[in-house]
Structure 1
């Protein structure tokens, strides 16, 4: 792609959708627009936003569309095969790529959001000096993307790096049918469920809400308030995080792990302070540098833009993974 071209960028999550227009040097041509995701009507929503982006000041035509999207995607067909809703339902077979291509006659690239985030770190973020980058997203669930020496790690069907399903805990809790899955204990949803189970079985004085109402945010807030029960629960969660991170290190041997997501980015220091002392118990290779992402909420947009990056100062003349990797 030529450096003069402009790319319409979308970052689609289960709850929120972000959109802007980007240039290959890593700059955004328009302000970032954010609105609630309409999963059932997602192809129509993206078409409406694309129409709007084409009329923004400073946009002199759009040459391609690139979408970073939560869920299971088929990058060859542009179909979003499966995505969870905020209510824990599932929406399937959303024809994002074909719908946009047919309406606007533009090439469309669809990428998993965690893989896109790893690409963002490799090209525009802290991964510019690393050999192997893992971006770990800790939010409602847990996921990861891996870029190893300029190559995206995808697996046979594009489902590599499903690290949230690493079985690191007791089989009492599960996620996507996997007993003991990391995200069943340490994601936003997992923390709430794990702590709710403990509250139901233990009779201890705590400021935490009852089992039916407790959230992950409540746990971190209670720790900040000095609640010993919440502190104990977070220590238990830290051991599961250590097992998850140790397994991640064993699987990919990265020299950099960046952390994002609503749970991971917001509570990074608290999580790492309690987790780091235990990671070596679970990892054979050297523990990599672990740091919060510096790309913020726009990491998905940067990830959608990364494959189109121009070689230069921003990309640090690094090999840019191609669309067919």
Structure 2
């Protein structure tokens, strides 16, 4: 049987037909048109689904920004105007007369990695996406952990320093304030402004505002010491976070995805080393820390995975 997966982003809607093995058979991508508000976005979603539609589809999975309750109703989604108190599952079930599953986008990626990606074969795993911010999800004994108010595992806002900098959420010392992309870039800027010699400066032609995590990665691959220190430090911060999560959940695998994870093995080595130093020793031998397995079509495959096998 074949299924439709829809990945709703702030800029683009990505939709594809996916088989039971997680292979994308057809795909399309159209603008989200979020500035047009709720009705326009719904119209765009419907249009994208119809572009890949064929007879015999078994259901539709949707990954969306915001919190999602057990009825598939979306709330607290600030990036799309009007995307609040929205019965998204009921809307598309009525439109297409098919079963529909709706879930928060990061939880969706977590389930996709569990079913078809780097978490395949485990029972308990942690998945994070590391980019502008830090999001994550947990699969616990084969089920997606959602919490009483459907907002479990707000990993980015776990505090790791009670005297740390204030986060945009209002809390103090959240992990996102240390490993989000803008803060990684800030580490590089501080080092250079303090007089550190670095290839990073050359790669941005002296304009420090052009520094990105990719620039830092490129500098590291060319042997830059400041870049190496930055990725080791980011790995240490993540390792501290994961040490607590390992002690709490005893996962078999930690999966790290998102743009910042492209730093490569220098980041993963630092994460593993810190976990080994800080987590409960008996939990370490069976633990793996690995990069995400789903790549180009991760959003589509993950959304389809919601309907291929229930995460609840």
TM-score by length of 1: 0.80
1:93 maps to what in 2?
A: 84
Distance 1:219 1:115 in 2: 29
- The structure-2 alpha-carbon separation of the partners of 1:213 and 1:173, relative to structure 1 and needing over 3 Å to count, comes to farther
| Structure that is richer in helix per residue | 2
Distance 1:218 1:173 in 2: 26
Distance 2:174 2:242 in 1: 13
Distance 2:239 2:226 in 1: 20
Cα RMSD between the aligned structures?
A: 2.7
Q: Which shows bigger deviation, 210-219 or 291-300?
A: 210-219
Residue 33 of structure 1 pairs with residue 28 of structure 2: yes
- The structure-2 alpha-carbon separation of the partners of 1:42 and 1:149, relative to structure 1 and needing over 3 Å to count, comes to same
Distance 1:35 1:188 in 2: 26
Out of 2, 8, 14, the position equivalent to 1:12 is 8
TM-score by length of 2: 0.83
Counterpart secondary structure, 1:179: coil
Distance 2:47 2:253 in 1: 38
Once the two structures are TM-superposed, the CA of residue 105 in structure 1 deviates from its matched residue by 4.1
Residue 214 of structure 1 pairs with residue 211 of structure 2: yes
Once the two structures are TM-superposed, the CA of residue 118 in structure 1 deviates from its matched residue by 2.4
| Count of residue correspondences | 298
Once the two structures are TM-superposed, the CA of residue 61 in structure 1 deviates from its matched residue by 4.5
Counterpart secondary structure, 2:137: strand
Counterpart secondary structure, 2:297: helix
Residue 70 of structure 1 pairs with residue 65 of structure 2: yes
Once the two structures are TM-superposed, the CA of residue 36 in structure 1 deviates from its matched residue by 4.4
CA displacement, residues 192-226 of structure 1 (integer Å, 9 cap, x when unaligned): 244445555x2333333555332222222222233
Counterpart mapping for 1:94-113 below 5 A: 95=86, 96-113=88-105
- The structure-2 alpha-carbon separation of the partners of 1:35 and 1:252, relative to structure 1 and needing over 3 Å to count, comes to farther
2:125 maps to what in 1?
A: 133
Check the 8 A contact 2:231/2:263 in 1, yes or no.
Answer: no
Residue 300 of structure 1 pairs with residue 292 of structure 2: no
Out of 23, 40, 58, the position equivalent to 2:19 is 23
Check the 8 A contact 2:17/2:24 in 1, yes or no.
Answer: yes
Once the two structures are TM-superposed, the CA of residue 101 in structure 1 deviates from its matched residue by 3.9
2:245 maps to what in 1?
A: 248
Counterpart secondary structure, 1:140: coil
Once the two structures are TM-superposed, the CA of residue 157 in structure 1 deviates from its matched residue by 0.9
1:117 maps to what in 2?
A: 109
2:164 maps to what in 1?
A: 171
Residue 148 of structure 1 pairs with residue 140 of structure 2: yes
Consecutive unaligned residues of structure 1, counting only runs of 5 or more, are 310-319
Counterpart mapping for 1:24-63 below 5 A: 24-30=20-26, 32-40=27-35, 41-54=40-53, 59-63=54-58
